[in-house]
């Protein structure tokens, strides 16, 4: 049976905090990890633990940022950070900048966000995405194995919008120890028809399921354990989920 188990009791995470150790300690109150568990961790706490938080007053906007800020009606300092974190600006309208970020994600504002970031003193602080979410997931997995003596898989999730549908959903931006995709081509359906094109975004589906418990506001659950989903151990990367540009029909 598939279960979603919240990791409760985690404190507000700050730069340098031993995130894996804290997760293991808090989850031990509900029985601890089992082999085959999948830990889904919110990007925000990973970014905070890695020190990926920037004070806007420390950012000097460039001329390009000033122009883009005028078109998007956004803070020029925030726009400067978006540009630094991006390969390409894909779309702009008032209130929104969609980019291809340096990790290859197509997302709003290069994933930079203000929500659930504690503010210290004067000046607004925002969180950037982890530099390498796959590496972050791998580090968490390795540390949990050492501390809890249990092999788990790890997904780092974030909320992304979709080009043709309203509402954000949780997606996998980093993973370790499980497949990114589940290729069902060659399997047969109930009518014995052989599937021709079915490749399931299994890591994204796990991330979205965990997001139901995590929530976007004051739920206070930045980590969820998915139990009962039997997946092979894999050295896959979240980069496999990104559609190659040559196959992108919409950009």
Per-residue pLDDT of 52-107, as tens digits, reads 999 999 999 999 999 999 999 999 999 999 999 999 999 999 999 999 999 999 99
DSSP state of 21: H
Q: What CATH code is carried by the domain that includes residue 105?
A: 3.90.1660.10
Q: Classify residue 2 by burial, with Cβ atoms within 10 Å: 0-12, 13-18, 19+.
A: exposed
How many Cα atoms within 13 Å fall on the side-chain side of residue 251?
16
Please determine, for residue 24, whether its predicted confidence score (pLDDT) is greater than 70: yes
Domain termination residue (choose one: 79, 95, 127):
127
Same domain, 14 and 85: no
Report yes or no on 246 lying in a domain.
no
User: Using an 8 Å Cβ cutoff, are 85 and 110 in contact?
Assistant: yes
Same domain, 136 and 155: yes
Distance between CA atoms of residues 46 and 10, nearest Å: 13
Please give the full DSSP string across 117-160, using - where no structure is assigned: ----SSS-EEEPPPS-HHHHHHHHHHHHHHHHS---EEEEEEEE
Query: pLDDT over 90 for what percent of the chain?
Result: 77
User: Using an 8 Å Cβ cutoff, are 45 and 222 in contact?
Assistant: yes
Q: What are phi and psi of 50, to 5 degrees?
A: -90, 0
Same domain, 210 and 100: no
Domain termination residue (choose one: 101, 127, 153):
127
Mean pLDDT computed over every residue of the chain: 92
Same domain, 16 and 72: no
Distance between CA atoms of residues 153 and 81, nearest Å: 31
Same domain, 47 and 66: no
β-pair type (38-42, 153-162): parallel
Name the packing angle between helices 19-27 and 133-148 (round to 10°).
50
Same domain, 211 and 103: no
Report yes or no on 251 lying in a domain.
no
Domain count, the chain: 2
Residues in Cβ contact with 46 at an 8 Å cutoff, skipping those fewer than 6 apart: 19, 130, 133, 136, 140, 156, 174
Report yes or no on 250 lying in a domain.
no
pLDDT of residue 217: 67
Please determine, for residue 19, whether its predicted confidence score (pLDDT) is greater than 70: yes
Distance between CA atoms of residues 92 and 71, nearest Å: 7
The string of pLDDT tens digits covering residues 119-153 is: 776 778 999 999 999 999 999 999 999 999 999 99
What count of other Cβ atoms lies within 10 Å of the Cβ of residue 152?
Answer: 23
Enclosing domain of residue 102:
53-127
Same domain, 134 and 190: yes
Reference 203, options 152, 131, 154; nearest CA is: 154
How many Cα atoms within 13 Å fall on the side-chain side of residue 158?
28
Domain termination residue (choose one: 127, 157, 182):
127
pLDDT of residue 247: 84
pTM of the model: 0.92
Q: Classify residue 218 by burial, with Cβ atoms within 10 Å: 0-12, 13-18, 19+.
A: exposed
pLDDT of residue 222: 95
pLDDT of residue 20: 97
Distance between CA atoms of residues 177 and 39, nearest Å: 10
Report yes or no on 249 lying in a domain.
no
* pLDDT band at residue 178 under the 50/70/90 scheme: very high
Same domain, 230 and 139: yes
Q: Classify residue 120 by burial, with Cβ atoms within 10 Å: 0-12, 13-18, 19+.
A: exposed
Report yes or no on 248 lying in a domain.
no
């Amino acid at each position: 049976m598939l279960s979603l188990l919240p990791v409760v009791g985690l404190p507000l995470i700050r730069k340098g905090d031993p995130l894996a150790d804290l997760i293991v300690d808090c989850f031990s109150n509900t029985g601890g990890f089992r082999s085959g568990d999948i830990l889904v961790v919110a990007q925000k706490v990973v970014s905070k633990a890695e020190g990926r938080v920037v004070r806007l007053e420390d950012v000097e906007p460039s001329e390009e940022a000033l122009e883009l800020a005028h078109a998007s009606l956004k803070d020029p300092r925030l726009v400067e950070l978006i540009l630094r974190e991006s390969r390409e600006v894909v779309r702009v309208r008032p209130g929104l900048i969609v980019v291809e970020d340096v990790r290859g994600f197509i997302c709003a504002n290069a994933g930079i966000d203000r929500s659930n970031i504690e503010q210290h003193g004067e000046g607004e602080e925002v969180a950037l995405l982890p530099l390498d979410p796959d590496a972050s997931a791998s580090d968490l997995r390795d540390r949990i194995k050492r501390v809890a003596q249990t092999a788990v898989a790890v997904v780092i999730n974030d909320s992304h919008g979709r080009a043709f549908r309203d509402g954000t959903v949780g997606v996998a931006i980093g993973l370790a120890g499980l497949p990114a995709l589940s290729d069902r081509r060659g399997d047969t359906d109930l009518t014995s028809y052989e599937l021709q094109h079915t490749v399931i975004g299994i890591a994204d589906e796990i991330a979205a399921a965990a997001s139901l418990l995590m929530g976007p506001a004051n739920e206070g659950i930045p980590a969820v354990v998915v139990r009962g989903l039997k997946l092979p151990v894999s050295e896959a990367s979240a980069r496999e989920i990104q559609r190659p540009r040559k196959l992108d029909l919409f950009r």
